[in-house]
A and B are shown apart, each in its own frame.
Chain A
Amino acid sequence: MCGIAGFIRTDRRPVEQAELKKMIATLNHRGPDASGTQVLDSVGLAHSRLSIVDLAGGLQPMQTPDGMLSVTFNGEIFNHIELRAELQQKGYQFQTHSDTEVILLMYAEYGPECVHHFNGQWAFAIHDRRKQEVFLSRDRMGIRPLVYTQTPSRFCFASEIKALFALPDVERRVDHTALNQLFTFWSPLPPRTFFAGVSELPPGHSMIVKDGNVKIWQYWNLDYSPNEDNRSLDDWADELRSLLINATQLRLRADVSVGAYLSGGLDSSITAAIIRNYTNAPLNTFSVNFNDKDFDESQFQQEMITELGTDHQTVCCSYDDIGRIFPTVIQHTEKPVLRTAPAPMFLLSKLVRESQFKVVMTGEGADEVFGGYDLFKETKIRRFWSRQPDSKIRPLLLKRLYPYMKNLQAQSPDYLKAFFKIREDELDSPFFSHLPRWDLTAKLKTFFSDDLKQELQAQDPQAEFQQQLPAQFSEWPSFCQAQYLEAINLMPGYILSSQGDRMAMGNSVEGRFPFLDYRVVEFASRVPVRFKMNGLNEKFLLKYALRDLIPDSIRQRPKQPYRSPDAHSFIDSNSQRARFAYVNELLSPECLEAHGLFQPTAVQRLVKKMEQGRAIGTRDNMALVGILSTQILVEQMINGQTVTAGKETTAPATITS
């Protein structure tokens, strides 16, 4: 895994190598093993390398021998061996064993269509001297990041926004519309980022930059069009099993050791079990657990460790650990977050790196692809209830939801019905599945400053999202609509970025995700809904297909999403004070006033409630994390100030093996 950066001058001035070096220096965490720059014509490319494949020969930016094509590439093309053989049959000759060179020559053969042949995770830029243009592309699911901006004198791109901000002519300003979207959907809608004028190339898209003009197109999208497939459950299961085994084997291709995360849940257990049973690779696993037992899954982790006989290490997180690391976490996410969940993932990747591993396999994506989230169950129950709104029995199914949420479980049936009550106008909404989540999140906007509220008054984030839906969306089953929304919004915008790429790369670790192999994703989109969720049994097909590899206790345990402590990590209700000085500073009326995004009085009320230990709800916790992370980001990336936990730093997170 690596970091990429570069720019194309549109003002005919020469490319300054020093500027390229400044850009790439900000991405050293993504590629600490080597770095390089290349200047050709009006184009500058830069690269920071985390060497995983062809340790000796994969230096970048890489050029074809005739000097006509150059590439800077972040990611992995897992099927590079097969593609290399194809190209050799066509007469191509290779100088290295790297997948980088495969990308270059695939482009030479197929042009921009080359991406259709790739099985992997990528963000790259290819400078084509013959055509005098630059071709950029991002993988189908949005695993690897790619951001860009245009100034009057150049088009600039990079893996992360901080590299763009290394250039003096790139403006630093918060995009208020993006903030409005983030406080609705948890992430801005692509191509928006948290910063005005900075865009991200959406997943499954490519672009060409030529003569200062930008052309962007989508080369891949999910499709859940109903098909008349009458295959048996066993048929589906056999195909899924073969695909997953192959996807896992492909992702073990590396010239360095590969580890695996083990959360105690089904998905990472499956990934680890496939490695154990279908490859000769040594199995080193890593977990995070918590001092706060409400969040801890170590019992289930231990079961899988024993079952698979893995060489295992754990990092144990306290409230202080999360609060202490949080400013660093936000420096990497480059967007506000509403939960602290990325922070423990940062500590986990740190453990991986310190254990001399650069690559880690995870179960990410299975919930989106096979319908594992409670949100899918909730949607199914609400649809079922809506057919007979006066039923007294149907809403009782809601009790089956969110077993890990004690406050919700404590509700009377009457209140439960009231919370999940379906409005008439929701039934036909394309967002039926997501409205409860988005409505809850949007409540956080009550903390916005009066000026910001005024400015955003006329905006409708949902209407903007609706414009991005594909034409055939309305023809898909309700369950698949929910899957699609999750796969294009929360997954790339939060799970794979704030909680994924950014947390792993912050410690120079590459994540790999067998469930997001595009063949698995496309296969899952064709699976009948009844096999994805059977009754209220989520990920039914996945459990069935791999049932012999996973103990019943893991296969049948209630779904528990990965969560971590929020407000407690910043404010200690026992001592009734903030744990770290930066929390007080950034939430002070003066600082809030200066940044202008949140109402000081409202935030003070919230903080007081937390100090008194009375803020126990999702909404209050999300508000605190969202406000604090926004404040940190403005301080770090707009004002250029350092935010740290300072002297209050506690002992490092506990590690056991």
Chain B
Amino acid sequence: MNPIQSEIRNFVAENFLFGEDPESLQNDDSFLETGIIDSTGVLELVAFIEDQYHVEVDDDELVPENLDSINRLIDFIDSKLKELA
């Protein structure tokens, strides 16, 4: 597991899964469709990404395509880090 993946999985498990088995979450599962994340959850996710990886998420990047699964998050963070490099 790459470090970003494990950090994201931990964050999601600690903050959104509570009573569910973290292992049951697949990397491609949609947070919206599984009901894991509500409107506040999106804001929590973005705050986590900004703090953890020192990137800025623009308003037009706040779309499910970037944030709605572990894999999408990994890709999005990767692309943001490349921009910074």
Residues of chain B with a CB closer than 8 A to A440's CB? 38
The 8 Å CB contact of A419, one of B17, B32, B43, is B32
Given known A-B contacts A599-B19, A605-B14, A606-B18, A415 and B40 have beta carbons under 8 A apart? no
The reply to whether A415 and B39 contact each other, CB–CB distance below 8 Å, is yes
- Cβ of A414 within 8 Å of any chain B Cβ, yes or no, is yes
The reply to whether A614 and B15 contact each other, CB–CB distance below 8 Å, is yes
Residue of B nearest to A601 (CB): B19
The reply to whether B35 and A439 contact each other, CB–CB distance below 8 Å, is yes
Main secondary structure of the interface of A (DSSP, over half): helix
The reply to whether A415 and B19 contact each other, CB–CB distance below 8 Å, is no
Q: How long is the Cα–Cα vector from A623 to B42 in the complex, in angstroms? A: 18
Q: How far is the CB of B6 from chain A (nearest CB, A)?
A: 18
The 8 Å CB contact of A602, one of B18, B63, B64, is B18
The reply to whether A619 and B40 contact each other, CB–CB distance below 8 Å, is yes
The reply to whether B32 and A418 contact each other, CB–CB distance below 8 Å, is yes
- Cβ of A88 within 8 Å of any chain B Cβ, yes or no, is no
The reply to whether B62 and A617 contact each other, CB–CB distance below 8 Å, is no
Interface residue ranges of B9-66 to A (CB < 8 Å) = 14-15, 17-20, 32, 35, 38-44, 59-60, 62-64
Interface residue ranges of A435-482 to B (CB < 8 Å) = 439-440, 443, 446-448
| Total chain A interface residues with beta-carbon distance under 8 A | 32
Q: How long is the Cα–Cα vector from A616 to B32 in the complex, in angstroms? A: 18
- Cβ of A651 within 8 Å of any chain B Cβ, yes or no, is no
Q: How far is the CB of A573 from chain B (nearest CB, A)?
A: 14
The reply to whether A407 and B39 contact each other, CB–CB distance below 8 Å, is yes
Residues of chain B with a CB closer than 8 A to A620's CB? 40
Residue of B nearest to A408 (CB): B39
Q: How long is the Cα–Cα vector from A414 to B14 in the complex, in angstroms? A: 26
Interface residue ranges of A117-149 to B (CB < 8 Å) = none
Q: How long is the Cα–Cα vector from A255 to B15 in the complex, in angstroms? A: 56
- Cβ of A276 within 8 Å of any chain B Cβ, yes or no, is no
The reply to whether A447 and B19 contact each other, CB–CB distance below 8 Å, is yes
Q: How long is the Cα–Cα vector from A368 to B52 in the complex, in angstroms? A: 46
Residues of chain A with a CB closer than 8 A to B14's CB? 605, 608-609
The reply to whether A414 and B19 contact each other, CB–CB distance below 8 Å, is no
The reply to whether A609 and B43 contact each other, CB–CB distance below 8 Å, is no
Residue of A nearest to B18 (CB): A602
Residues of chain B with a CB closer than 8 A to A619's CB? 38, 40-41
Given known A-B contacts A605-B18, A609-B15, A412 and B38 have beta carbons under 8 A apart? no
The 8 Å CB contact of B39, one of A411, A421, A609, A623, is A411
The reply to whether B19 and A602 contact each other, CB–CB distance below 8 Å, is yes
The reply to whether B40 and A446 contact each other, CB–CB distance below 8 Å, is no
Residues of chain B with a CB closer than 8 A to A410's CB? 43
The reply to whether A415 and B38 contact each other, CB–CB distance below 8 Å, is no
Interface residue ranges of A600-633 to B (CB < 8 Å) = 601-603, 605-606, 608-609, 614, 616-620, 623
The reply to whether A414 and B18 contact each other, CB–CB distance below 8 Å, is no
The reply to whether A412 and B18 contact each other, CB–CB distance below 8 Å, is no
The 8 Å CB contact of A411, one of B17, B44, B62, is B62
Residue of B nearest to A412 (CB): B62
Residues of chain B with a CB closer than 8 A to A599's CB? 18-19
Q: How far is the CB of B60 from chain A (nearest CB, A)?
A: 8
Q: How long is the Cα–Cα vector from A383 to B70 in the complex, in angstroms? A: 32
Residue of A nearest to B31 (CB): A418
Residue of B nearest to A447 (CB): B19
Given known A-B contacts A419-B32, A609-B14, A411 and B20 have beta carbons under 8 A apart? no
The 8 Å CB contact of B40, one of A407, A447, A601, is A407
Residue of A nearest to B64 (CB): A418
The reply to whether B19 and A448 contact each other, CB–CB distance below 8 Å, is yes
Q: How far is the CB of B68 from chain A (nearest CB, A)?
A: 8
The reply to whether B39 and A419 contact each other, CB–CB distance below 8 Å, is yes
Q: How far is the CB of A55 from chain B (nearest CB, A)?
A: 52
Q: How long is the Cα–Cα vector from A414 to B44 in the complex, in angstroms? A: 17
Q: How long is the Cα–Cα vector from A410 to B20 in the complex, in angstroms? A: 28
The reply to whether A617 and B59 contact each other, CB–CB distance below 8 Å, is no
With most chain A CB atoms within 10 A of its CB, the pick from B19, B20, B32 is B19
The 8 Å CB contact of B38, one of A601, A605, A617, is A617
Q: How far is the CB of A556 from chain B (nearest CB, A)?
A: 27
Residues of chain B with a CB closer than 8 A to A419's CB? 32, 38-39
The reply to whether A411 and B35 contact each other, CB–CB distance below 8 Å, is no
Residue of A nearest to B68 (CB): A418
Q: How long is the Cα–Cα vector from A410 to B41 in the complex, in angstroms? A: 12
The reply to whether A412 and B63 contact each other, CB–CB distance below 8 Å, is yes
The 8 Å CB contact of A407, one of B32, B43, B60, is B43
Residues of chain B with a CB closer than 8 A to A448's CB? 19
Q: How far is the CB of B24 from chain A (nearest CB, A)?
A: 11
Residues of chain B with a CB closer than 8 A to A616's CB? 40, 43-44
Q: How far is the CB of B47 from chain A (nearest CB, A)?
A: 8
The reply to whether B44 and A614 contact each other, CB–CB distance below 8 Å, is yes
Residue of A nearest to B17 (CB): A446
Q: How far is the CB of A559 from chain B (nearest CB, A)?
A: 19
The reply to whether A446 and B32 contact each other, CB–CB distance below 8 Å, is no
Residues of chain A with a CB closer than 8 A to B38's CB? 419, 440, 443, 617-619
The reply to whether B39 and A446 contact each other, CB–CB distance below 8 Å, is no
Residues of chain B with a CB closer than 8 A to A446's CB? 17-20
Q: How far is the CB of B57 from chain A (nearest CB, A)?
A: 11
Q: How far is the CB of A445 from chain B (nearest CB, A)?
A: 8
Residues of chain A with a CB closer than 8 A to B40's CB? 407, 616-620
The reply to whether A443 and B35 contact each other, CB–CB distance below 8 Å, is yes
The reply to whether A415 and B15 contact each other, CB–CB distance below 8 Å, is no
Residues of chain B with a CB closer than 8 A to A602's CB? 18-19
- Can you list 23 A-B pairs, Cβ within 8 angstroms, ordered by A? A405-B39, A411-B42, A412-B62, A415-B42, A415-B62, A415-B63, A418-B64, A418-B68, A443-B35, A443-B38, A446-B17, A446-B19, A603-B18, A605-B18, A609-B14, A609-B15, A616-B40, A616-B43, A617-B39, A617-B41, A617-B44, A618-B38, A618-B40
The 7 A-B pairs of least Cβ separation, nearest first, read A617-B40, A602-B19, A412-B62, A446-B19, A602-B18, A414-B63, A407-B40
Known: A605-B15, A606-B18, A620-B40; 11 extra A-B contacts, CB below 8 A, are A405-B39, A407-B43, A412-B59, A412-B60, A415-B63, A419-B39, A446-B17, A446-B19, A609-B15, A617-B39, A617-B40
